[in-house]
Chain A
């Protein structure tokens, strides 16, 4: 970069070239050693460009949102065809911002009020449901289908009651839920729809990207996800009013939309009337919501700029790995319920999810213990049944049906990775391990002590 005051080329390029060299020396993956290396279910996949951007941003030392945040937000908005994208510090924060935005008084009678119901599922991640409870709303839980692990469409229809005002669902592990049914209910009953797209960036339903159906939708960029910024998430929408509200909730609840370090962007900072404040009270400190500070940094956004450009590459790798695993495990379909992509969907898979059938002759614990003993990382499908967790046992809720499949998920379901860091050698090793287990081999000895992991949990 050129110093705009002197016109001289500074040391920045030299530093960035050294960063690239450092990446080549320290971070290029080495060949897989099946006797020693774990096969993680997820992790950061990055190259020298990500490190260069990160350091480039740090050299700006602006720290809070600046040029990289602008570029990243604009890139995500353009990719999804949304008018607005707001970078936040996590996918969970994105969900909190999105749902809370719908409670804004600026929406008048359309806003969600305490006691209103929001349809969701219990077989998922807690931060899809927690914002509902945190806003004084009542979650209505429906069961999931085994195979795609998304809300049962029939139960979704049955769940709509007189106080139902919204639907908030996640596309489970990258598999789009039944958007035909959801959009039909949204239209028919005039419901709000928050689309938790945290695990599904790049998935499509009828050739349309998920995340473009909801009034608001969210992404997570934690390292387990399709692209990463370390910590990070995004809220996106095509609705100007919702975007303005969401920005306020992200930024302390303030009414002003100036970026950090900027003043009087609206041109009327001292010329407006709000509430019973004196006329002209400084707009920077006028609060129209009970908000949070959920902003992320420009360094995180810098990584995201590069990662977004690699989304197609990453998505293709996930699909390739998933397809290979599916083909390899199909002979065991009598004992393992294998993942299903519903009609009209093209998932950008988050993971490879398996349910051990009741008559398999072994349990989930047997299989995951064997895989873990062979350094193949496994995960349960997040909470299993959220309603059986201490924090959720006593929440006010309505339940449709008996959530029998949700309990199956809790007891018998797990997933392994398909992320782009799983190369052919790792995939072959994983397939071989499944084969050995199915041939009767079992784990012996205690639990494996994993090497220090890269952050990957959702």
Chain B
């Protein structure tokens, strides 16, 4: 974890993906500190003077690439009181505060990796996907589930990266037409991999179900990493 910085940001743009899912582009007041793909930030709406106690905040995966130092992007689903406020208050020109980087949900890029992402949980993987290069040696399988086809917010990114990176394969699973993400359905693609690590990001019920399914297939618990928040 690098030195944490608290940074005021200006909202540059808000993209409405429907179903109360939004992407917010932020312009930080100082260059974004070094972070690793998969790490997250704390996001605060209330005024902050740079000193004193940090205001109420929520955590969001950093969607943007670590290579970009003058922009930050997050994606969120408005579900509770705080994200409801975000929905109301985040407009272009508004000010917000972030502190970053945090988290150890960092993909080991030397090992074959299987990524399961549910809904906005894919944001834990977007920075990693953007960091891949065409000569990436390890295999990466992304299983990306969403309730409807409209909610594959990062489907285009996943597809374009898969087109550029031979070792990356993406499977987009629409719940409305193909049911929920499951290990059973994914296993034919996973089976040929050599002792991969599994990374799960999404709603807690999804994490629990997929973890149980992996354990049933004798995947060792220490091979399963979950991006679980309270």
Contact = CB atoms under 8 A, between A and B. Distances in A.
Interface in B19-60: 33-34, 36, 40, 42, 47-54, 59
A70 B48 contact: no
Contacts of B53: 261-262
B1 interface: yes
Contacts of B52: 60, 62, 66
A240 interface: yes
Contacts of B228: 268, 271
Given A85-B3, A244-B1, A4 B48 contact: yes
Contacts of A262: 53-54
Given A4-B49, A60-B51, A66-B52, A264 B5 contact: no
Given A264-B230, A267-B59, A84 B3 contact: yes
Contacts of A74: 3, 5, 33
Given A77-B2, A267-B59, A1 B49 contact: yes
A84 B230 CA distance: 27
B103 interface: yes
Contacts of A4: 47-49
Contacts of B229: 267-268, 271
B94 to A, nearest CB: 15
B71 interface: no
Contacts of B2: 77, 83-84
A67 B1 contact: no
Interface in B136-179: none
A222 to B, nearest CB: 22
A330 B40 CA distance: 58
Contact of A240 (B1, B6, B33, B59): B1
A257 interface: yes
Given A4-B47, A62-B52, A267 B3 contact: no
B125 interface: no
A391 B4 CA distance: 40
For the residues of B in contact with A, the DSSP-based class is loop
Contacts of A264: 230
A73 interface: yes
B220 to A, nearest CB: 17
Contact of B102 (A62, A66, A70, A266): A266
A444 B1 CA distance: 60
Interface string A239-272: 0100110000000000001010110111111110
Interface residues of B, number: 26
B48 to A, nearest CB: 7
A259 B4 contact: yes
B88 to A, nearest CB: 20
A246 to B, nearest CB: 11
A73 B49 CA distance: 19
Given A60-B52, A259-B4, A265 B34 contact: no
A84 B35 CA distance: 11
B230 A267 contact: yes
Nearest to A87: B3
A266 B103 CA distance: 7
B45 to A, nearest CB: 13
Contacts of A1: 49
A235 B12 CA distance: 37
Contacts of A243: 1
Nearest to B204: A271
B108 to A, nearest CB: 12
Contacts of A266: 102-103
Interface string A103-141: 000000000000000000000000000000000000000
Nearest to B106: A240
B205 to A, nearest CB: 14
A271 B5 contact: no
Contact of A67 (B6, B36, B40, B102): B6
Interface in B57-80: 59
Contacts of B5: 70, 74
Contact of A257 (B1, B6, B36, B54): B1
Contacts of A265: 42, 102
Given A60-B52, A66-B51, A269 B3 contact: no
Contacts of B49: 1, 4
A240 B3 CA distance: 10
A5 B48 CA distance: 10
Contacts of A269: 230
Contacts of A67: 6, 50-51
Contacts of A240: 1, 36, 104
B4 A70 contact: yes
Contact of A270 (B1, B54, B103, B230): B230
Nearest to B53: A261
B225 to A, nearest CB: 13
Nearest to A265: B102
Contacts of A77: 2-3
A62 B1 contact: no
Contacts of B34: 83
A455 B23 CA distance: 54
A269 B51 CA distance: 24
A270 B51 CA distance: 27
A70 B51 contact: no
Interface in A80-104: 83-85
B39 to A, nearest CB: 10
Interface of B: 1-6, 33-34, 36, 40, 42, 47-54, 59, 102-104, 228-230
26 contacts: A1-B49, A4-B49, A60-B52, A62-B51, A66-B51, A67-B6, A67-B51, A70-B3, A70-B5, A73-B3, A74-B33, A243-B1, A244-B1, A259-B4, A262-B54, A265-B102, A266-B103, A267-B229, A267-B230, A268-B229, A268-B230, A269-B230, A270-B230, A271-B228, A271-B229, A271-B230
Q: Which 4 residue pairs are nearest across A and B when measured between Cβ atoms? A: A267-B229, A60-B51, A74-B3, A267-B59
